């Protein structure tokens, strides 16, 4: 899949800008309800000098789950080790990490829904009883050795909460749902990032970038950097509203944050399938995309805008989608006559 400027998943350039990542909870913008609950959780754990309860963060990609995990570690004054579900190939990989965890340390597992079943079952006693079992030897002489672990915290992150098994999900004492950011929070993020990157930008231009950021901080920062590049080459480095609009037009990101891929998806549903309902696999075949990519990457924001509906029979384009594309919406079906 071609990398999109508005794609919510992390790209190489995002990892290079670690300076934009908040370091403390006061610097973390947005997600007000999550922060309020988290402050209480952190303060209570600090007062008792205990490890935090295991935390599960879920929501669409690009909303700051990894950043929040690092903020939690900084607030607790402990070390954090980062890995991902697909990185664990053998039970020994997990055992090696768990036995090296110190008291109150944090293990952050991204894409935790992609853990294989053997690794997942090994996590159960580690999370619940802080113990891990090793099998020594083979055949009739094999025996199990149980090792005690330090009381540590696992922070799991997922974009697919429904794919996490119930036994694993229940072992997380705290669940936080990260939602799309509102315009005010995105404006604060763009302004803060511009200050860190030393970008001269007008407030109106910052607002324009925020409006096209799809409710996602990662997209906001990426658009800001591309607008900065445009301003540097064609506008003496100063980002005004006309400069921002020209740069975003060149990037083919419209006023609602949609790009060519979003238009292709919507037009496929409307023009090829009469606006739906149409099944996900059919859309994937018609657009040459993977079903999981459409469901995880493309659809969430279109659903947020109200441009798509998920129904038991398939996806349906809404009148808002027709209006945005400038296509006349079909008349709603009339009430069938009885006679």
Catalytic residue numbers read 65-66, 110, 159, 218
* Cα 114 to the center of its chain, rounded Å: 15
Strand pairing category for 55-58 and 153-158: parallel
User: What six digits make up the tokens of 177?
Assistant: 């749902």
Q: How far is CA 217 from CA 1, 62, 154, 158, 271, in A?
A: 22, 6, 24, 17, 32
Strand pairing category for 308-311 and 314-317: antiparallel
Using alpha carbons, select from 266, 270, 298, 294 the residue that is nearest to residue 280: 294
Please give the helix or strand (H or E) that residue 147 lies within, else none.
strand 143-148
User: What six digits make up the tokens of 267?
Assistant: 């037009």
Angle at 158 between CA 225 and CA 299, to 5 degrees: 65
Q: Which long-range contacts (CB under 8 A, 24 or more apart) does 230-234 make?
A: 231/199
Using alpha carbons, select from 135, 139, 141, 178 the residue that is nearest to residue 156: 178
**Half-sphere exposure (Cβ direction) of 108: Cα atoms closer than 13 Å:** 18
User: What six digits make up the tokens of 314?
Assistant: 């398939």
Contact 109, 137 (CB under 8 A): no
b/e code 20-58 from CB counts within 10 Å (16+ = b): bbbeeeeebbbbeebbeebeebbeebeeeeebbebbbbb
């Amino acid at each position: 899949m071609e990398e999109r400027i508005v794609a919510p998943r992390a790209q190489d350039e995002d990892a290079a800008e670690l300076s934009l990542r908040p370091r403390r909870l006061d610097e973390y913008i947005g997600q007000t309800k999550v922060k309020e609950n988290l402050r209480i959780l952190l303060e209570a754990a600090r007062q008792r000098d205990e490890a935090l309860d295991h935390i599960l963060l879920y929501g669409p990609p690009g909303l700051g789950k990894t950043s929040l995990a690092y903020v939690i570690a900084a607030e607790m004054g402990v070390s954090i080790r980062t890995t991902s579900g697909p990185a664990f190939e053998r039970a020994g990989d997990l055992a090696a990490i768990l036995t090296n965890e110190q008291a109150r340390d944090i293990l952050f597992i991204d894409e935790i829904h992609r853990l294989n079943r053997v690794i997942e079952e090994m996590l159960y006693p580690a999370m619940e009883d802080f113990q891990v079992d090793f099998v020594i030897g083979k055949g009739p002489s094999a025996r199990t050795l149980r090792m005690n672990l330090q009381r540590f915290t696992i922070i799991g992150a997922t974009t697919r909460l429904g794919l996490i098994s119930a036994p694993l999900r229940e072992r997380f004492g705290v669940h936080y749902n990260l939602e799309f950011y509102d315009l005010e929070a995105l404006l604060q993020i763009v302004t803060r990032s511009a200050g860190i990157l030393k970008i001269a930008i007008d407030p109106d231009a910052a607002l324009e970038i925020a409006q096209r950021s799809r409710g996602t901080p990662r997209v906001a920062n990426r658009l800001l950097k591309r607008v900065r590049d445009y301003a540097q080459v064609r506008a003496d480095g100063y980002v005004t509203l006309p400069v921002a609009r020209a740069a975003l037009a060149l990037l083919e990101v419209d006023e609602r944050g949609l790009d060519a891929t979003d238009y292709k998806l919507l037009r496929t549903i409307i023009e090829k399938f009469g606006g739906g309902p149409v099944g996900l696999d059919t859309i994937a075949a018609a657009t040459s995309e993977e079903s999981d990519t459409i469901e995880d990457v493309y659809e969430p924001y279109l659903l947020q805008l109200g441009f798509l509906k998920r129904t038991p029979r398939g996806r349906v384009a809404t009148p808002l989608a027709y209006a945005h594309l400038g296509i006349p919406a079909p008349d709603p079906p009339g009430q069938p006559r009885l006679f």
